[in-house]
Structure 1
Amino acid sequence: MPERLDFPDDARSAGAPSRFSRLLPLLIFFLSLLARSAALGRYITPDEPTWVYRSLQFREALLAGNWGGTLVAGHPGVITTWLGALAMSLQMLFSAESREAYVWLAKIAFLTPDNVEAFKRLALFLDGGRLVVMLVNSLGIAGIYLLVKRLWGDRAALLTGVFLALDPFLAGLSGLLHVDGLSATFVTLSLLSLAIAVRPRETGPGTRRALVWPALAGLLAALAVLSKTPTLLLLPISGLALLWPLVRDRRMSMRGRLTLFFGRSIAWGVAFLAAMLILFPALWVSPAAVLGTVGGSANRHLDEALRETFFLGNVAFVHGPAFYPIVLLWRLSPLVWLALLALGILIATRKRATEPAARPDVFSILILAAWVCLFLVLITLAAKKFDRYILPVVPAILVLAALIWSELATRRPSAAKAISLAVIAIHSLFWLAFAAWPLMAYNPLVGGPRTAAKVLPVGWGEAVSVAGARLGNSAADSRAISPVAPALAPFFAGQTLVESYDDPATADYVILTAGSLQLDPSGSARQIEGHERVGTLRFGGLDQGWVYRNPSPLLPDLPADLSERVTFGDQMALTAAGHSVSADTLALALRWQRLPSMLENARYTLRIVIRDEHGSVWASQETPLLDEVYFFPPDWLEDETGVIRYALELPPGMPPDAYEITLSLIDEATASQLPVRVGDEGVFRGVAFAAGTISVALPESIVSASRMQIPVVDGTMWFGGRLQLLGRGEIVSEALAGGRLPVELFWHAPSGALPAGLQLVWSLRHLDDHVSYPITTGPLSRYDTGLWRLGESIHEKYQLELPPNLAPGRYELIVEPRSGDGQPAEQPIGLTEMRVNNIDRLYTLPTDIPVELDVLWEPLRLAGMAPADLAARPGEAAELTLYWIKQATHGDVYSVFVHVVNDSGDIVAQADQWPGGLPTDILDEGQVVIDRLGLNVPANLPPGRYQIRVGLYAAATGLRL
């Protein structure tokens, strides 16, 4: 018989009476439920509305049979969305308001931080989702109680149940509609089930229990992984645990041990995979997409933090390895740390010869300890760090602490009951102190909330919700702004403004929190300058928030109505437009109108482009055309939207100059740009509307070189170290002679004043014969170098027009800075090697052109056409040949259009293309292009004579010449 590694039977039975012990799981369940109910109806944390919306997306995908659509997050949060969807379904059975809100929410294209109306409706479903999560987590704690009882006896189970049920940090997070609490519960259940599975006294070859417990552990591990991917670390822990009996059970034959190992492993693996596949429908149809999304999310957490956080008095993106040890010190119950003293007592008073039956199950303890250590090491390596990320190890730590206190009580039979009651009382008092605000619980042994505010981020939306509720209906006509809009909107009767989207100066009330002061004390002070404090929010032992009234709020800056009607394809109209530039951001405000002729179920993409006078694009954005609540046009509640705001980030170091904003609408069904017409007469203006010009000024503070994202770093110096080339952008490896070569360079003035009017001489050096071919000479920057400040960094873009007569071959692109009077600086440098291709070029017109013409557009002259009399049959194609002569090198790209029109002027057939299929900017001066166009004649076209019309239009804008 293998030795029994367990507490003795008298320890198992010591403690509470047996009749009462039968009720303990139920008591633990209700105690857990009570502790997790603190948030209900009282506050909203920033992430929870997002999980409500993801639950809606998950439910919609299930109902539509869109299995791939059940992948709604990288966490992946599948269990959270299952529970949220279940809660939604139950709630809508009894609430018409919920059904209306659900229909409204299902229409939004996606959830954004500024969709205040969506947050109000999402809040209707939040408490229902929380209740289901609370039930699952509370049932899990009751299950943990039963598993610990099986492993270590009644006393250890009782202490564990109380520790887990009433731990404020664990209770506060596992009462939210989120992933952390669920992952912590399932991880702990899986580990304890695994510990039972590999205990020698529980299983043996041929027994059914040899497979039940590992299967249960695998199932629970799958639930943990489906909640949050870092719990994949359960796999190596579980594998090592299943391997251990091969070494331990030497009294059993190797064949018996291997049989048991493979049986347990297969049971664990089958249960794990079955649960993953059954509960995550996205795996049925797109496992690669699931792996890509989940893996990408995990890698992003490892590689980068998306926003700065507070730690030890500093605000930074990345914090060192001390972060999680300090989080544990402040977040864990004081009894966990006092348990270390108890452990010291146990070690100091241990007996040298202990009977096997009196020793605790060391391996089960090691499983929990290994999980804690491995998980903490992994999350410490990640760049993104938050205190709640430790939650999957908190139950295991609490179990270990409970075991220590239980063993101490067992070692001292006369004081066992007193020790147990004292531990339960102290832990209960710790919970009671923070029961109303569990996320504000911090270890009193290190100063509690008072010292935590100097060490860790405090608050997670509670103060904002409380402030909104206190303002209440008395401020129904007011505007308020806070750091967490999702926490404010459902509680505030007025208009909720959103930080970084709305102007704080237009708010009647400004809400600051302890967390916002931690992150930006000076910015917070500026925000409330001249404001009157009307309320302080104190709870959890700290001043958590402050409400300030703005005595003279500004009116919102609204876009001006357009002086002329602007329509896009007779389907949408732009009625107002305005813009402003601050720091490195263009803020664009537009108002749209849906026209009666808009197609049903239409979808449009709005393209916003910022260009300079040379055509270089400095910033662009493509986004679905939506209204202020992110509905698609067919679902707009009114024909005309409110003000829709767009923000485009401008690149650091963008040189001071004037830049044009253009707007285009793309029909998603046809992928074509809608024609723009202006004025009551509908004058055609191409496919891009010029919405205005912005003037980018020199920033007050110098742009540091570190802010520039430079693809290829260089570092070459000229003019005695006063001019430095920081680097360049990516340059194409192949170019076409006569075309444009875009180049981006990043410049820096590290020391001394630069001469005014610096120039760049560009050339191409053939790599075979080493002959250099000049390209152009022009200013180093549109912002004169004589105006650059010491330390200035400038990002500049160039459009180099390559000579049309370049021979095909390999070239090196050379750049050489020169002074304003043309004097060379020092040595030129090669930026990159590239291949230049060319085309066969014709410079003489054929002598047998049937119809000679002399029609001049600015870039091209139409010299003739063929045939003289074009004939075709209905349903067939006719070929028209046009003869063009390019008037000058380079220029823009133009397309030819040919229209066949009847006597009424209606177009009955048409064709358009680049002349000869070539972009016109690569054509040389005097180059002849023979342009053959096919005209498809409609099969139902009546016989007769038709007129042919020929013209040119700019390919980029659609404007005709």
Structure 2
Amino acid sequence: MAAFTRVLSRRTVSAVPVILFLLAIIVRLPNGIFLTVDEAYHWIALSKRFATTLSTGNFADTFYFGHPAVTTLWLGVAGHWLYDTLTVPEIIGEGKDTFYPLVRLPAALVTALALALSYPLLKRLFGFHVALLAALLWVGEPFLVAHSQLFHMDATLTSLMTLSLLLLLIALQHREGSLLGSPWWIGSGVAFGLGLLTKSPALLLIPMAGLIALFRQWDAIRDIRSFVKALIGCVAPLCVWGGIAAIVWTVLWPAMWVKPLATTWGVVSEILFDGGAPHPWGNFFMGRAVDDPGPLFYLVAIPFRLAPWTLIGVLLWVGFTVTDGRRAWSGSNRWLLLLALFVVLFVAAISVMAKKFDRYALPVFPALTILAAAGICRSAGFLWRGITRFVVVPPQRFIVAGYACAIITLAINLYAYFPYYLAYYSPLLGGGAAAEQILPVGWGEGLELAAAFIAAQPDGKDRPIAVFYQPVLRPFAPAGVAPLQAIQDPRRVDYAIAYIDQLQRNTQPELHQPFRRLQPLYTVRIHGINYAYVYQVPPPVAQPLKADFGEAIHLRGYDLDASAIRSGGALTITLEWQARAPVDNDYVLFIHVLNDRAERVAQIDVPLGTDHWTSRTWRAGRCFSTLYRVPLPFDLPAGTYRLAMGVYDPHTFARLSLRTDGERATDAGEHALLLTRITIP
């Protein structure tokens, strides 16, 4: 039995990477619920173009940006191939609900696989418990999950940089032999090359590789001369490491095959000029629209994006390390110190750049989960020793209970924010409501909910929606999209959406100026954040006339068609309304035609509203056009007539109070508005 238990234990331990991969891919399964700005503007179309370029042999056209995003484009090619493979034979149906998840799936698989591959590396460096807890925290860290579900560069970059860094640490841990022949060192170079093909911040691994090559010779350093000799000794390993990365870079980027110098310079210029310049649309920090948020940005953004237990775990580890003093550089804690050094160097480097977004700090998040796991495990050790002073608790039960609590907590947290993990901000710091006032928020999520609200309206599918990020909304807008400037022509669009990203950064404020006069029909609110505001574009008014009936019903003006009075025996009136507040009843509108002796010669009493919107359904901020035909006697004498109107409750016949700067029709009774005068020939 004991032997069976040992074999079962070994099999369970060997299955941990597979279990972690399955857990990671389950929570990272992409969806087609929303589209981010970069996916809509760049990567989905560029990956299709990349595939076409490869098939035609026009390899120079595989350079698009200096990011360079080549691994992302290769993964996009795989996603497009997967979609075509499944839809052409009609295994699955076509449409955005299948297209976006499948295009995103290869990138999600890479991030899940990198996590599973990292676990055995973590176990070598830190032992079973820290490695397992770190991997579980990595699986469930909301910010990492959010970006791993998307078709973008940052999650892939994070996975590859972390793999390369962990392999560097293992190369340092294994002192036997030279770095030049170390499989860990070579593997790190491969991962570095893939990371560099993904995004240029992978270059920040170079100082870490240099330090690790130097630390490998630390015991031989006695004086300045030996130190210089050690520095010289770092050159060959770094050349091998960088050479392997260069080979990966060249082999996997077709543009390097035909234009190596121009392609390389394109990446360098991206780093020097684009990364060093503020975002052209500006930024937002601490409640203000700014060009450069400054050096404190990531020190604020990272804690907001970390799960509470990760932030607390990191602080615990820092506390233990400070308490340890000189003993901190011993055992596995030295590898943790090097991870912490990477976090500091990376954050310091990206803080210098003028262009800042919270996702640029994503590569430090796995390292932070590892530090947090170390802090939590050490705290758990103190807790267990304290408990066992009073109660006898088998360590196995304590450990199992701890892991069970961790898994349950992570699962509940992810479930609570599904599927909008991009909207996750630490509850310790006030959550989304606080983040909205401090950090730039919104990358396209929530726009699909605004489009769904509009599409559900009776007229929501008639005309395009005016929005700033047109490609992001296009897949979710049945009647298409229009630029935000279209609100200046009410005949072109019925609805417009203002998005938090532009409002925070004050992007093209002249486009949002008209919204200040309007009340939103609907606000998209996700986890405490107001992401989008849906406005109805008020239809034009031929004859402005302002009047309020009661507290909720506002008359904006009217249009009069008297051309058929003699031929058709009727007068056509279009009234333009706006609800100032929700209307609580189905009211009746009266229109009286009065002659010069105040006699009523014609009238109508009709329900206020339209076939789709009775007055009881009027929502605050919505505008309505109602058209009425007022029959007139055929023998009506020529002359000037007055049109009086009002609104009343059909149950009590009590008229709604009238407030207006216009003229009242006092001879038509209380609370009657003089709409206009007409002359009948």
With the length of structure 2 as denominator, give the TM-score of the two structures.
0.68
Residues in 2 aligned to 1:282 and 1:532: alpha-carbon distance in whole angstroms? 51
Residues in 2 aligned to 1:182 and 1:223: alpha-carbon distance in whole angstroms? 9
**Cα distance per residue 1:503-525 (max 9 Å; x no partner):** 46432111223334323497676
Question: Superposition pairs for residues 478-627 of structure 1, below 5 Å?
Answer: 478-500=463-485, 503=488, 505=490, 506-520=492-506, 526-528=513-515, 533-552=520-539
What residue in structure 2 maps to residue 86 of structure 1?
78
* SS of match in other structure, 1:462: coil
* SS of match in other structure, 2:465: strand
What residue in structure 1 maps to residue 152 of structure 2?
178
Q: Which of 307, 331, 349 matches 1:333?
A: 307
What residue in structure 2 maps to residue 45 of structure 1?
36
What residue in structure 1 maps to residue 440 of structure 2?
457
**Cα distance per residue 1:518-571 (max 9 Å; x no partner):** 23497676433665643332222333323222341699xxxxxxxxxxxxxxxx
1:216 matched to 2:187? yes
RMSD: 3.5
Counterpart code for 1:289: A
Determine if contact 1:283/1:290 at 8 Å carries over to the other structure.
yes
What residue in structure 2 maps to residue 319 of structure 1?
293
* SS of match in other structure, 1:41: coil
Determine if contact 1:532/1:550 at 8 Å carries over to the other structure.
no
TM-superposed CA distance for 1:155, in Å, is 1.0
What residue in structure 2 maps to residue 935 of structure 1?
none
Residues in 2 aligned to 1:366 and 1:553: alpha-carbon distance in whole angstroms? 66
Q: Which of 11, 14, 18 matches 1:22?
A: 14
Counterpart code for 2:262: A
Residues in 1 aligned to 2:96 and 2:123: alpha-carbon distance in whole angstroms? 41
Counterpart code for 1:46: V
TM-superposed CA distance for 1:486, in Å, is 1.9
TM-superposed CA distance for 1:30, in Å, is 2.2
* SS of match in other structure, 2:437: coil
Question: Superposition pairs for residues 339-738 of structure 1, below 5 Å?
Answer: 339-343=313-317, 346-347=320-321, 359-410=330-381, 413-414=384-385, 417=399, 421-472=404-455, 475-500=460-485, 503=488, 505=490, 506-520=492-506, 526-528=513-515, 533-552=520-539
* SS of match in other structure, 2:498: strand
**Cα distance per residue 1:580-633 (max 9 Å; x no partner):** xxxxxxxxxxxxxxxxxxxxxxxxxxxxxxxxxxxxxxxxxxxxxxxxxxxxxx
TM-superposed CA distance for 1:424, in Å, is 4.7
1:141 matched to 2:132? no
The 1:350/1:240 distance shift into structure 2, 3 A limit, reads closer
Determine if contact 2:448/2:473 at 8 Å carries over to the other structure.
yes
Residues in 1 aligned to 2:303 and 2:433: alpha-carbon distance in whole angstroms? 14
* SS of match in other structure, 2:217: helix
Q: Which of 233, 242, 262 matches 2:204?
A: 233
Determine if contact 1:205/1:260 at 8 Å carries over to the other structure.
no
The 1:531/1:161 distance shift into structure 2, 3 A limit, reads same
TM-superposed CA distance for 1:263, in Å, is 7.1
Residues in 2 aligned to 1:302 and 1:18: alpha-carbon distance in whole angstroms? 51
What residue in structure 2 maps to residue 35 of structure 1?
27
Residues in 1 aligned to 2:231 and 2:519: alpha-carbon distance in whole angstroms? 75
Counterpart code for 1:508: D
TM-superposed CA distance for 1:129, in Å, is 2.0
Residues in 1 aligned to 2:123 and 2:54: alpha-carbon distance in whole angstroms? 39
Counterpart code for 1:394: F
The 1:351/1:316 distance shift into structure 2, 3 A limit, reads closer
Determine if contact 1:517/1:524 at 8 Å carries over to the other structure.
no
Residues in 2 aligned to 1:372 and 1:306: alpha-carbon distance in whole angstroms? 28
With the length of structure 1 as denominator, give the TM-score of the two structures.
0.49
Determine if contact 2:465/2:479 at 8 Å carries over to the other structure.
yes
Residues in 2 aligned to 1:412 and 1:73: alpha-carbon distance in whole angstroms? 52
Structure 2 alignment gaps of length 5 or more? 1-7, 388-397, 543-681
What residue in structure 2 maps to residue 75 of structure 1?
67
Residues in 1 aligned to 2:452 and 2:510: alpha-carbon distance in whole angstroms? 25
TM-superposed CA distance for 1:487, in Å, is 2.0
Query: What is the percent sequence identity of the aligned residues?
Result: 30
Residues in 2 aligned to 1:173 and 1:140: alpha-carbon distance in whole angstroms? 14
* SS of match in other structure, 1:319: coil
Q: Which of 265, 270, 291 matches 1:297?
A: 270
Q: Which of 208, 211, 214 matches 1:243?
A: 214
* SS of match in other structure, 2:481: strand
What residue in structure 2 maps to residue 597 of structure 1?
none
Residues in 2 aligned to 1:260 and 1:150: alpha-carbon distance in whole angstroms? 26
**Cα distance per residue 1:733-766 (max 9 Å; x no partner):** xxxxxxxxxxxxxxxxxxxxxxxxxxxxxxxxxx
What residue in structure 2 maps to residue 164 of structure 1?
138
The 1:249/1:419 distance shift into structure 2, 3 A limit, reads farther
The 1:21/1:432 distance shift into structure 2, 3 A limit, reads farther
The 1:472/1:283 distance shift into structure 2, 3 A limit, reads same
TM-superposed CA distance for 1:423, in Å, is 4.8
Determine if contact 1:467/1:511 at 8 Å carries over to the other structure.
yes
TM-superposed CA distance for 1:31, in Å, is 2.1
**Cα distance per residue 1:17-43 (max 9 Å; x no partner):** 654433322222222223223x51100
Residues in 1 aligned to 2:159 and 2:313: alpha-carbon distance in whole angstroms? 22
Query: Which structure's residues are more often helix, by fraction?
Result: 2
* SS of match in other structure, 2:67: coil
Task: Name the stretch that deviates more: 301-310 or 75-84.
Answer: 301-310
TM-superposed CA distance for 1:441, in Å, is 0.7
Query: Which structure's residues are more often strand, by fraction?
Result: 1
Residues in 2 aligned to 1:362 and 1:353: alpha-carbon distance in whole angstroms? 9
The 1:431/1:17 distance shift into structure 2, 3 A limit, reads farther
Tell which structure's C-alpha radius of gyration is larger.
1
Determine if contact 1:204/1:260 at 8 Å carries over to the other structure.
no
Residues in 2 aligned to 1:454 and 1:203: alpha-carbon distance in whole angstroms? 50
Counterpart code for 1:198: L
Determine if contact 2:175/2:216 at 8 Å carries over to the other structure.
no
